[in-house]
Structure 1
Amino acid sequence: MTLSGDYTATLPRKRMGAAVLFIDSAGRALLVEPVYKDYWEIVGGCVEENESPRQAAAREVKEELGTTVTPGRLLVVDWVPPRPDRTEGVMFVYDGGTLEAQSTAGIHLPPDELSNWAWCTQEQIEQRMSPLLARRVVAALRAKTEGASFDLEDGFHP
C-alpha cells in the first residue's frame, strides 16, 4: 500500500500550552491574574504553529512579564482530556528559577491581558486557580523540589 502526500498531515492535532514556574526565596509560586478569566494562572500560553513548547514558554514570559528568560528543565507534562468548551491538549511547565526582589521590580504586565501578579503559597494557589491548574502547579512545585519531572493526566499522576 502506498500513501500519497504527507500521511502525518491526516493525524489528529492536539492543542499545546507552555508555561514557566517562577518561585521566590520562600518557595511561593508567581501567579498572574488575567483580565479575561475569573481565575489566576502561571506565566504561559498557547504554543503557536511551528514553535516548540520551550520557545513558546520563553515568548510568553517576554510578552507577559516584559523580561527575557531561558526556561530551565521540564517540570511537568500534563495531558488534558477534551471538555465541552476545549479540545484535548498537552501542557508543558518549565522551571523559571528563583526570582529575587530586583528581578520582580522589572515586571511589566500587559494591561490588556494581565491585571496583577502575586507570590502565592499552596493554599493561595488552590484558592485562586482552577482545580486543574492548581493540581498542575502544585505538582510542578513538587517536581522542582524533588528534582523530578512528572507525567500527569488532567493534573493527576496516572
Structure 2
Amino acid sequence: MPDVAYYASLPRTRGAAAALLLDDLGRVLLVKPTYKEGWFLPGGVIEQGESPLAACVRECEEELGFVPRLDGLACVDWGPPREGVDAVNVFVFGGSVTPDEIAGIRLPADELSEHVLVAPEKIPELAAPHIARRMEPSLRGIAEGRAVYLEDGREPGFGPAWEPVR
C-alpha cells in the first residue's frame, strides 16, 4: 500500500499540452486568446488525472471545434517559474490540418478571437519569446520523427559541461 501522506507531501508540477498543426504548405496554425497578449498553439492546461495527449485532444476540440490528426510527441519543454507562475512541463504534439478543417474552425468567442496560418519564420513576430523559442526545435522534432527535450525553449547541450536551467 502506498504511503499516501508521503506522496501528498511531494511537490507538484503544472502541465500543459499543445498541438503544433501544419497545413500542406508547412504553415503553423496559431490562435489568439482574448485574455492575454500574443498568439499561441491550440492547447491548454492538463487537468487533474488527465494525460498530456488527452488534454491536447480535449483542448483542440474545445478551441477549434474538431480533433486534428496528431502524429506523435514533438517536444517536451520545461518552463521555469516566471512572473508569479509555477514551473510547467509543456507537451507539444505534432500533427496536420486540412483545408476543410481550417475552413470549419469554430473558435469559442469567450476564449479565442482569431486564428491564423503562418510560415514558421513569422512566429517570433506574433508569439511571446518563450513560445516562439520552442517552435524551431519542435518543427525539427517533427521532421526527424523524434521528440525534442527543451528547457525554457532551448536544447540543453548534454555532456560533461551541461548545466540545467535554474
The TM-score range, normalised by the shorter chain, is: over 0.9
Please tell me the residue identity of whatever aligns with 1:9.
A
Counterparts of 2:41 and 2:62, CA distance in 1: 13
TM-score, length basis structure 1: 0.92
Superposition deviation, residue 101 in structure 1: 1.2
State the match for 1:152 in structure 2: 150
* Stretches (4+) displaced over 3 A: 3-6
State the match for 2:84 in structure 1: 85
Secondary structure at the aligned position of 2:29 is classed as strand
Unaligned runs of 5+ in 2: 157-166
Superposition deviation, residue 138 in structure 1: 2.3
State the match for 2:62 in structure 1: 63
Paired positions, count? 155
* Aligned pairs for 1:15-94 within 5 A: 15-69=14-68, 71-94=70-93
Please tell me the residue identity of whatever aligns with 1:143.
G
Unaligned runs of 5+ in 1: none
The percentage of counterpart residues that share the same residue type is 43
TM-score, length basis structure 2: 0.88
Superposition deviation, residue 141 in structure 1: 1.3
Counterparts of 2:83 and 2:152, CA distance in 1: 15
Deviations 1:1-32 (A, max 9, x none): xx953422111000100001110111111000
Superposition deviation, residue 65 in structure 1: 0.2
Deviations 1:27-86 (A, max 9, x none): 111000111111100000000001011100000000000102453310000011112321
